[in-house]
Structure 1
Amino acid sequence: MLSFTSAMAVLPASDLERARGYYKDKLDLEPEMSEDGALIYNVAGNRILLYETSFAGTAQNTALTLETGDLAATMTELRGRGVVFEEYDLPGLKTENGVAEMGSERGAWFVDSERNIIAVSERTA
């Protein structure tokens, strides 16, 4: 039987210092560790690794989801920090004022300084 002790989200950055600034200014996050061209953040007990690569920003999917207990308040705070939420009109997903209703969850998406798509979500049930 497999026995994992932790998991980590991994996000690419074409400019690690720009990404550090974005995550500090927009998400109020400071890296807990910086080593070998990578930054490691701890978010609610989960780790996120940002590393420098020329392949940053090429994914067209959600790379990271941050859960919150109050999506509206979180979006207001992020908008106040200059975060712009995406609008989508896709089969099965339509946003209004940046928010999609998805069964027992509401979500919104934004793009970070490295063109990674990040979701903010709230469970409603």
Structure 2
Amino acid sequence: MNADSRGRGPLAGARVATRLPAGDLERARRFYSGTLGLDPVDERPGGLLYRCGGSDFVLFQSTGSSPGTFTQMAMEVDDIESVVAELKRRGVVFEDVDVPGLRTRDGIAEVEGNYPSKGARGERGAWFHDSEGNLLGIGEPIPVTPAS
């Protein structure tokens, strides 16, 4: 059994399939395309399928809405500073967070701790809302530095 399929239940080998609600699917398409630079790889009535780095997510037409109070989907990048700078240039407004143990500076926070299997000592993170109110995160692992 590999690290990606640990568990004994019927979902141990399942693939995660993120679904994000959109009150206005065309507005969401414009935001994801024009602002984030992502175009759907497929679509069906009421749904847009996107692919990033080998993973899929879907925006679906919904009469409900996200509360936008928690991270609904996150993307891991290699250089969070350049990604945040480019998204700001494209009009994205990043969340300011100032709670015990977590504070953003220029839109980016350092998050202490990480999962040992990821080989990092922490993560840098940033959060923003899409056009539909979904809270999206961007993360970059902080590598463990060898002791000198």
Structure 2 equivalent of residue 46 of structure 1: 55
Structure 2 equivalent of residue 30 of structure 1: 39
Comparing 49-58 with 8-17, which one deviates more in the overlay? 49-58
* Partner amino acid, structure 2, of 1:74: V
1:21 is aligned to 2:30? yes
The correspondence for 2:133, drawn from 108, 115, 122, is: 115
1:67 is aligned to 2:85? no
1:8 is aligned to 2:17? yes
Work out the number of aligned pairs and report it.
125
Structure 1 equivalent of residue 86 of structure 2: 77
Comparing 23-32 with 49-58, which one deviates more in the overlay? 49-58
Unaligned runs of 5+ in 2: 1-7, 113-121, 144-148
1:60 Cα offset (Å): 1.4
- TM-score, normalising length: structure 1: 0.93
1:71 Cα offset (Å): 0.5
Over 4 Å off, 4+ runs: none
* Partner amino acid, structure 2, of 1:91: P
Distance in 1 between residues matched to 2:105 and 2:40, nearest whole Å: 33
RMSD: 1.3
8 A contact 2:111–2:124 mirrored in 1? yes
Aligned to 1:42, what secondary structure does the other structure show?
strand
- TM-score, normalising length: structure 2: 0.79
Aligned to 1:51, what secondary structure does the other structure show?
strand
Distance in 1 between residues matched to 2:90 and 2:53, nearest whole Å: 20
| Seq. identity, % | 38
Aligned to 2:81, what secondary structure does the other structure show?
helix
Distance in 2 between residues matched to 1:32 and 1:23, nearest whole Å: 12
8 A contact 2:68–2:129 mirrored in 1? no
Structure 2 equivalent of residue 89 of structure 1: 98
Relative contact order higher in (CA < 8 Å, ≥ 6 apart) = 1
